[in-house]
Structure 1
Amino acid sequence: MTRVVVIGLGGMGSAAAAHLARRGADVIGVEQFTPAHDRGSSHGDSRVIRQAYFEHPSYVPLLRSAYDLWADLERDDPGIFRLTGGLMLGHPDAEVVAGSMASAREHDLPHEVLDAGEIRNRFPNFAPRDDEVGLYEASSGYVRPERTVREHVRRAVAAGADLRFEEVALSWEADTSGVRVYTAGGAIEAERLVIAPGAWAPRLLADLGVPMVVTRQLVCWFRPSGDLASYQVGRQPIFIGERPPLHPYGFPVLEGQDAKDGLKVGLHHHGEVIDPDTLDHRVSADEVAVMAEAINELVPTMAGRFVRGLACLYTTTPDQHFVVGTHPGHDNVVVACGFSGHGFKFVPVLGEILADLALDGSTAHPIGLFDPARFGRASR
């Protein structure tokens, strides 16, 4: 039985632990916080999921695999994954529109292209400019991050994993004899190591040679000022807009919730660089005002009365693509980081990929775009 240590039990690490344990590995997981905590990047009640992927067409095959695995999670936890339809909205040349269209066409994904008048007629909450269009994808929707982490933790423990919460991984080392992870409780030795540290990647993976920036990102919940029923699934899709320099996004009413309790919205990649240990969830009046103005320019009645806000962390690479693969300096170490902003929808398939790499040294999934060595040479 191969012993594998997993550092970080957020979205990616908990999925890796579950897949590894179910495949018979002796798994030890180390997490500095409690399960499904709110100090990183795997919280906030909902995440967008979509297939017409504006970031790059290479993500689409992974998304198809991820959807199958989300359906498996849904069988054990109904409501963890919901399709609502999704609208990508902006000028025809905007990345969110043109990129989504490129992925949809390359991979023959069902979609519709709507002009401004068609958007207004079909989704009256939106106020597109006359020169804007929308790509509508029926297979877009949302997933529930905290529930996803808890389900993967449950699966990992049920399969025999030893998951150690509130235990900080201080450092690690690897050589041809194996790996060692040092925590306040001592050294943990194993044959393989998976490092999925979220915003702590610049610290724990400083030798990787990947420049990463950690930023504080704000999300808010507002009670709409208009017809609350119009924000229900079936009438209101998830959406991502592009009005430079801002990228507003938002959700309909989630299953089991009520519009009067607030709808979640955010501004993609709109935040300041911080140390992850200093994350502050407090939201200022100025931050709320900026958020409300940006959202209401696109969906005029959505950001009515402010209900609550919180912060999360983005960990971003220069090309905004993930870092997934075997550590260039250590054949027995697998790394997973740089996901923030668009990674959570891939959680179950990345768990499978990390298990493949840790146990088999390779994976059949296409991950060439995420090569850890693409930014330079890692140190041994």
Structure 2
Amino acid sequence: MTDRYDAIVLGVGEVGAATVAHLAERGTTVLGLERDDVPRGDGSAGTRRIRRAYEGDPAYVSLRRRADELWTDLEAGHDRRLTYETGSIEAGPAGSDRLERSRQACEEHGLEYESLSSAALSDRYPGFQLPEAYEAIYQPDGGFLASQRCIVAHVERAHDAGATIRARERVVGWQSTGDGDVTVDTDHARYEADNLVVTAGAWTAQFVDELEGIVVPDRQVLARLQPEVPESFEPEAHPVWTLQVPEGLFYGFPVHDVPGFELGRCNRRETADSPRAFEREPTQADERLLREFAEEHFPDGAGPTMGLQARPSASTPDGDFVLDTLADHPQVAIGAGFSGHGATFATAIGEVLADLTLEGETEHDIETFSLDRF
């Protein structure tokens, strides 16, 4: 038998769960399909950075503001805290392009910030021990969200609105029917719908030919290290951060929920035909890379390893999202290329994708995220 829905969402991670909830609350019959667990049990602290100084297009700033409104609304209806304000740090060599773009973004959009020398940063937040020639942009309203809890909150809201979500069901493929509908085949069943939304993360390009070579899987590796000076890495003493060093761009979080402060290296656009092609088990080389970085820049945090995790992500050549419908299949909406930081926008992205699915357009400014820019 074939089940029939108004909309089907492929992938129920942070963005997919939000999209299912938005669609269900608008009165549609919606099915969410997820190949893994809901939420995914990936062994991390489940944290995602919230920062507000996005260089370049103002579309990110307006999307950030709308996301914050929707996170507040979601949190008010949930029994656990979802967002945490710790402040955020953007650091690197003084005068570097990335740092200056962050400063310019703050000034252009009226965002509160403070410039700190390396010494001033260490005085305020002793966990940071950066080279003397480095500088930091501090934003007091940055922080992180607990992404696993956020997925649960969206799923609960979706269920309350009548949505169906099926975990451990792998999508094999989809096709457009002659009358403009969509058929989705999984390893369990066949489903039909008026509309399709693809939010399948690193697997998105496998379902959307137009994204082949554009949304590329990345292998993200994170470590949790137990601090030698624990009080310097608690949320009130250690803002979320990104740090540009010659070896690349790194990011991190204070200790939260599970032992150890978490750090990782930003995506390197490692190409592969499929996320399955990446080594899913962290290696000693992965651990050594992150530990050596921590020993140099966060020496009081570089204690015993508490956890290592390798997970697939996906990014685009310009680093921006893809939020659009397919030209040849306007009943198919795409949300992709989030490379980890899309999670903090998930509430607003879910709203955008629901707009595109049901109305074919949205009031949000998403021109920056169009597929035809490639």
The reply to whether residue 29 of structure 1 matches residue 29 of structure 2 is no
Asked if 1:161 corresponds to 2:167, the answer is no
1:363 is matched with 362
- Alignment match, 2:342: 343
What does the per-residue CA deviation read over 1:114-167, in whole Å, with 9 as the maximum and x for residues that have no partner? Answer: 122221221222122222110000111111111111111111111101112222
Counterpart in 2 of 1:174? 176
Q: Show the counterpart of 1:352.
A: 351
CA distance in 2, matches of 1:57, 1:302: 35
Question: TM-score, normalization: structure 2?
Answer: 0.92
Aligned residues of 2:227 and 2:261 also touching (Cα < 8 A): yes
Give the alignment's TM-score, normalised by structure 1.
Answer: 0.91
Given the superposition, is the C-alpha separation of residues 182 and 109 from structure 1 closer, same or farther in structure 2, using an over 3 Å criterion?
Answer: same
| Correspondence for 2:326 | 327
- The alpha-carbon distance between structure 1 residues 43 and 124, as it changes in their structure 2 partners (threshold 3 A), is closer
What SS does structure 2 have at the residue aligned with 1:249? Answer: strand
Tell me how far 1:373 sits from its aligned partner: 1.6
Q: 1:96 to 1:78 in 2, by over 3 A?
A: farther
Structure 2 contact 52–61 (Cα < 8 Å) conserved: yes
> Out of 122, 133, 136, which is 2:135 matched to?
133
How far did 1:69 drift?
1.2
Greater CA deviation, 298-307 or 270-279?
270-279
1:145 maps onto 2:147 in alignment: yes
Q: In the alignment, residue 53 of structure 1 is paired with which amino acid?
A: Y
How many residues are treated as equivalent by the alignment? Answer: 368
Equivalents in 2 of 1:125, 1:360: separation in Å? 49
Matches of 1:46 and 1:360 in 2, distance apart? Answer: 33
Distance 1:182 1:214 in 2: 23
The answer (yes or no) to whether the contact 1:233–1:252 under 8 Å persists in 2 is: yes
Distance 2:308 2:158 in 1: 31
* 1:70 alignment counterpart: 71
Instruction: Note if contact 2:333-2:353 (Cα within 8 Å) is conserved in structure 1.
Output: yes
Inter-partner Cα distance in structure 2 for 1:315 and 1:198: 6
Aligned to 1:115: 117
User: 1:29 is paired with a residue of what secondary structure?
Assistant: strand
1:211 deviation in Å? 1.8
Q: Deviations over 1:305-324 (max 9, x none)?
A: 11111111121111111111
The answer as to 2:263 corresponding to 1:262 is no
Please say if residues 247 and 267 of structure 1, whose CA atoms lie closer than 8 Å, have aligned partners that are also in contact. yes
Structure 1 residues 133 and 151 mapped into 2: Cα distance closer, same or farther (>3 Å)? same
Structure 1 residues 252, 96: closer, same or farther in 2, change over 3 A?
farther
Structure 2 partner of 1:224: 227
Structure 1 stretch displaced more, 145-154 or 346-355: 145-154
Residue 378 of structure 1 corresponds to which residue in structure 2? none
Rounded Cα–Cα distance in structure 2 between residues aligned with 1:101 and 1:329: 41
Distance 2:169 2:122 in 1: 51
SS in 2 for 1:308: strand
User: Aligned partners of 1:98, 1:38: CA distance in 2, in Å?
Assistant: 38
Query: Could you give the per-residue CA deviations for residues 14-63 of structure 1, whole angstroms, max 9, x where no partner exists?
Result: 11000000110110121122211147xx9651111111124654311100
- Matched residue, 2:59: 58
SS at match of 2:123: helix
User: Which amino acid is 1:71 matched to?
Assistant: T
Alignment partner of 1:188: what SS? strand
The 8 Å contact of residues 48 and 340 in structure 2, kept in 1 or not, is answered as: no
For structure 1, which runs of at least 5 residues remain unmatched after alignment?
376-380
Residue in 1 aligned with 2:186?
A: 183
2:23 matches 1:20? yes
Question: Which residue in 2 is equivalent to 1:252?
Answer: 254
Amino acid at match of 2:181: G
The more displaced of 86-95 and 355-364 is 86-95
Q: Is the 8 A contact 1:96 1:241 kept in 2?
A: no
Measured against aligned partners, the alpha-carbon deviations of 1:168-222 in whole angstroms (never above 9, x if no partner) come to 2111122543111122334311111111111111211124466222121110100
Q: Which amino acid aligns with 1:359?
A: L
CA RMSD of aligned residues (A): 2.1
CA–CA distance in structure 2, aligned partners of residues 99 and 138 of structure 1: 18
Distance 1:43 1:8 in 2: 19
Q: Give me the whole-angstrom Cα distance separating, in 1, the residues matched to 2:106 and 2:168.
A: 42
2:333 alignment partner AA = V
Where do residues 187-206 of structure 1 align in structure 2 (5 Å cutoff)?
187-206=190-209
1:11–1:148 CA contact under 8 A, matched in 2 = yes
Following TM superposition, by how much is the alpha carbon of 1:354 offset from its aligned partner in structure 2, in angstroms?
0.6
Secondary structure of 1:301 counterpart: helix
Name the % identity.
Answer: 32
Question: Structure 1 55/81 Cα, relative in aligned 2: closer, same or farther at 3 Å?
Answer: farther
> Does the CA contact (< 8 Å) of 2:226 and 2:302 recur in 1?
yes
